[in-house]
Structure 1
Amino acid sequence: MLTMLVVDDELYALKGITRGIDWSDLPIGAILEAESVAEARRHIERQAVDLLISDIEMPEANGLELLRYIREASPQTLTVFLTGHARFEYAQEALHMGCFDYVLKPIDHDVLKGIVARAIEEVLRRREQADFEKKLEDYRRQWVSQLPILVDRFWRELLEGRIGLSAERLDREFAQLDIPLTAEKGRLLPVLLSVEQWDVELDSRDESIMEYALRKAAAETILGERPGTVVQDPGEYSLGLLYLGESDAPDRQALLERCRQFVQACHAYFHCRVSCYLGDSVRLGELPAAVERLLRLERSNVTVSQTVIDAAVEGGESPGGQPVALPSFLEWGILLDNGRQDELVRAIEAATDQFAREAAGRETLELFRYGLLHLLYQAAFRAGVSVYEALDPPDLADTQAVRSPQALKAWAVRSVRKCAEALQDKTRDSSAIVAKVQSFIQDNLQKELNRDDIARSVFRNPAYVSRLFRKETGLSLTDYIAQSRIERAKRLLAETNDKISHIAEDLGYVHFSYFAKLFKKMTGLTPQEYRKKHQIMR
């Protein structure tokens, strides 16, 4: 329950809020009253206050001074200000200092109650976020100080085949690491833990910390009081190992129920979606093969999320997964090239939704991912952009995208939008460069222009500028210069009485005969004929 403090130097206004409004349907456990800032400060010093409703204009210290104090002494407190004067500077300063809302008197009691209800929602949201951040910090400290590095390394090296399976060697390792197994009689029951999706944004470091937290939770929930460990495998999955004696026969139904509890806890408390794959008990030498069977189950499960799969029931077979027709990536590439990314996104969503409806197999999802990656590489190449300018390496190498049609949809839409944005930026940059080139040419038509001078004016490579200009305008630099000079000549012939030879010289044509020949080729008239025709028309 929350604590609310109401501050007003007018007694009737104070009582009207604390007693005149029915607060019983809101999670408020205590309502405190204060007739001055000094009295309010004493309340805050004695106990935590979640929500403050305060008048601004009061004798001696005012509400803004109280807010300054709260920012230092009780920053978690949300403040709602009431005032009888619509002074903008008060509102501006109050909002700048972080008050939740600012309301003019007289205020309708239902309106005030609605504001308080919204403030309470914000208080509860902040509490939840603070709790999550505290958990994350606690797990961060545990990850740094308590990670059982040696045990983890032993099992990883055994799964990779880097530890010999001689009884003498294994028994020595077990004794050193305090693992209650023997090479001759020891058995293990593996449980594969697969994180399918995080529901919150985490950087790589915090993701590692949260994965450590998941392993700790798995050890507590799945292993319980049984001896065992949960390790991080090099294949980027977590593996629970129950240590069993020769005659141990764990209750499999109880283990499955523990796995279900773990899956639910991961979603509720760790903001992620996890599935568990329960294997059979095996001897030490059989462990790598048993883990590989679980991995095959995990790879083939693209239809069911947040589930528990019993390998003994599945028998190592793929749970679903049918071949489904793939879309035309060639047509999709045309959409991307033409800037129709919204249409492309709708097509991606429709295709991946179809995969989900038709229970598409892992291979279909992988083929789709590779096809879309090829599309993005080709689109970037055609636009003269490195694909690494459009997409981050984690986007290109995200093998987790094929865990499910939903994960594939999220990855594909994100990648297409990033790529489309990069291509649009490239187009805008290219258009700006071409515009600068055109402006430079127009300003220097009277000079002898060459490709190197033009490229130097925009600080680009000459060959690149030449290719870009032709791509954007359909003309070579030479043709554009000639066309621009003739257009300038046409205007001068029609609007001035300058000698034609002078016009030709001013436009950089040293030989009049060449100018006259080019002019007729491009207009169908000689310069004299063009002037006569257009000056008469004027």
Structure 2
Amino acid sequence: MRSEIMNVLIVDDDRFVVTALEKKMNWNALGIKKIFTANNIRQAKKLLEKEKVDLLISDIEMPQGSGLELLSWIRLEGYDLQAIFLTNFADFNYAQKAIELQSFEYYLKPIEFDKLELIVKKAIMKLKASQSIDDAVKMMNYRQQNKETLQKQFWYTYLRDTNFSKRENLLELLEMNQVNYSLEDRFIPFYIALFPYRVKDYQELQMSIQPDADIENSLIELLKISFNNRFADIEFLAQYGRNEYEYLACFKLNQGMDSIEGSLYFNHFIMTINNLLNCDIQCFLGNNALLEELPQATQELEEKKENIVDFRNKLFIVENLIKNDNKYAEPPLYLLEHYLESEDKLSFANKCYQYTVELLNQNALDLEILNRLRQDLTQIIYAYLKRKEILANKLFQGKMADLLLSQSLRSIDDFLCYIDYLVEVSISYSKFADSKESVVTTLQNYIDQNYEENLSRNELAKVVYLSPDYIARIFKKETGISLVNYIIRKRVEIAKDLLKNTDLPIHLISSKVGYENYSYFTKLFKKETNYTPVEYRRNITS
């Protein structure tokens, strides 16, 4: 904000003019606090870069650059000041250029100080008027920004703090945050759950929303597009709930509207999200309520939303939901076991889909039922892997498995995706495990590349997700040599090469091939070669 007291910069190559202006003008009466002077453009620019100047009085014709050039630079740099030009010549081109550069006045010398004072007064009045407009705009912007901040703060506090359930406390909160709501206004809570990921070939997660995206503002804008000032106005939206991509919004109902009438707009919002964000979504519409009833309506929405199990891209209206006392009935487990043993992935997936949809159509599917169904299907798959001596708990590790498991109860789509993933990986790995040659080759390659590491049977079993006994058995059967002896032979081969081609001390060679115990290494080396490492090196170099 500009101070009431202002500063002036006088620029003229004639020192007598500068001194006269400095001494003979009644600057204090004009409200000018500081008077800066310069004899050329270069000095003027330096002053402007470090001092606040409100008014420029400058000669036009100067040897080292004209006053018009100075004002052109001032406008380019964005300095906010008024300019008065002094000149000895009544040149139309000068006047035209001065006007283009938004100078306040063009004054012909010789200077009559009383007339110049009047011009300066007018310039200062224009400065103050301009600043008043700027201040008003800034104040309006500040109030608007502050209003949005206070409104958001109101909603955060009101929906999360039960202390404001009493009417007098609510009125106090409204006044404190300067929020202009009436107790007669009606609102609707609205819950948004986004699904911004897809699984490609059971190996790659594809995100449709970037981690640094401003999702809240995007949702607000898309809601405005969908509603277009009809039915209701969005008042609040923020991340809400346990999941990163879940949001709570509150709408202020337009007069004469109710939540059922708004379902068309919410369905349009779902399609907008699908098309513009390339993202799946579920929406949950609460009951409309007076402002003081809204926290309870929001809590009811959250509780009912938590127990809803259905497909993605649907709108759920709370007042239409009926709570049933569901009892769990197992799916045909024997048939699903048969499909797994037959490696019939498609039939397994179809049966899971059919059974889940049947429960949904009977209104017999809720979160607890889906969880028990997941447990039964997972148990079938894990039992199948155990019979194959595959380590299921090691097989299903990593970002993909963790995410799909964590999301598997959010929707039927996510549930079926997780089960399909388990079946796909299980059958694919079962084929790998049945190909004993592939397992043995994998183990040999791993040992050849990691001979210096801890290569116990348990550690090697983790590499191929198979039981230690199983890998030991098939390795001996396929190669004619035990796993332990293969590792020893590999390490001794490397040690022989190092003894022959390097001058490394034997204790370092022992460590490099995986034996920290030098004595034990010497014992194994002699058993394989009939020589100690020292004897071997001596014989090959003599």
Tell which structure's C-alpha radius of gyration is larger. 2
TM-score by length of 1: 0.45
